[in-house]
Chain A
Amino acid sequence: MKITFIAADGTVTPVEVTAGESIMRAAVQNDVDGVIGECGGSMMCATCHCYVDDAWTDAVGPQEDGESDLLDCAASEVRASSRLSCQIKMRPELDGVVIHLPESQL
């Protein structure tokens, strides 16, 4: 399965992942700049903030319970497409998903 990360400066990084992997882990494990994931996906921080590409927001789905409160603490602007990437697990219908990264996570 494929994820395409687009950094705030326009850098495009395609990454191969397996189903069940979170988008946060995929970014961290593939050394994609712009995602920190400080708490390891425990919903304890907001350092894996991402913007889901407009073409993919329906497939990815809305924020999970509690996510918006964490995003209130995010360092960059929160938009309708904002998600915590640790809460998005890869599944077949997300193959090819495009994820935009904010300028800063801290």
Chain B
Amino acid sequence: MKRFISLFLIALMLAPMLFSCSESEKKGKTLYVYNWGEYISDGSEGCLDSNKAFEDWYYKQYGERVKVVYSTFSSNEDMYAKLSSGSVSYDVVVPSDYMIERLIDEDMLAPLNYDNIPNIKNIVPEFYGPDAEFDYYDEGSVYSVPYFYGMIGIIYNTEMVDKEDLGSWELMWNKKYKGNILQFNNSRDAFGTAQYKLGIDVNSKDEKDWRRALEELRKQKDIVQGYVMDEIFNKMEGGSAAIAAYYAGDFLAMYENNDDLDFFYPKEGTNLYVDAMCIPKSSKNKALAEAYINFMLSEEPAVANALYTYYASPNKVVLESEEYKEGMNEIREDAYELMYNADALKTATPYKNLPGSQLALINNLWEELKSDIEISPLIYVLCVGIVIALASFGIFFAVRKRIRNNY
């Protein structure tokens, strides 16, 4: 006991010490960044730590210490839930296209001041400028600067999947691979897989279309191993699952660790997404946030991030960088073609934001899918057995007690 007290006292003394040193760090501004998981070069295995690089760069440039507090989400919906709760504020968020549209519609984003983002000139004209084709979610890029883009495809393990089954979304519904299929754990992407398979418009405003997609997902529920997001990395790399639909760039990251994996874009068409950096209205450090965005567009961090995530970059300096080309070649010879696949791009469609009632419907259908659980008879039998055993036990003792009390 005495030792425990002393231990506690040590902790007590240590805490303020740690606290004070954290105080000294805290001087200066803090920038809250909210990004997808595994979506920035984080300094592991010798790559550049982009956030740290920004802190250093900012100090060199402006002589002021800033701190980047970086946190991650696993889906657009998670990000929206956190942002809209209003109790946490962020300075830079990186949602995908349809979510940016929603945030703009709900007036949650602040327009960017491009005077603070001169590096916007690095963005290729397809993504920024008068002829931009891929700023469909934010015409004229008023609120957002593209970070990366890509398409969804199917990742599979060549050791576990037969060649003749490849090529189509059907693979995700193939009963042969029961227990080895991973589905997205967010509503838009999961419904998307079913919609592309059925040939339904992913932005359909017709409830019946969504119900059909739900039926398809219900059929699939029995054969999927689970609904996961970034857990997919460990599962696919470790051979715990054979088939998963996921974002193309992440496939290359997984391939790096397990070369049994391979990838294809389904022939029925797939989803194109653009993830872009935006500043929420609630941000208190807008200029600093713009400096951050600007920094991420400059060569060193942009190339490092592109080589860490392997996603397709809309950034000229990345595309022209020798280091980037080499890095992509190193991982896989066709990595470049895979990420910038013109054929797939032609048939790919983006998700669009939908009206509020539609979003509520998707939410409800998603809930329906998740809460639709089949309870196996064995579970029922076990429970009934337990309840009967408990009840008879109770009755037995009650009766015995009464008999004894009669003596």
A and B, one complex?
A: no
Residue numbers of B with Cβ under 8 A of A are none
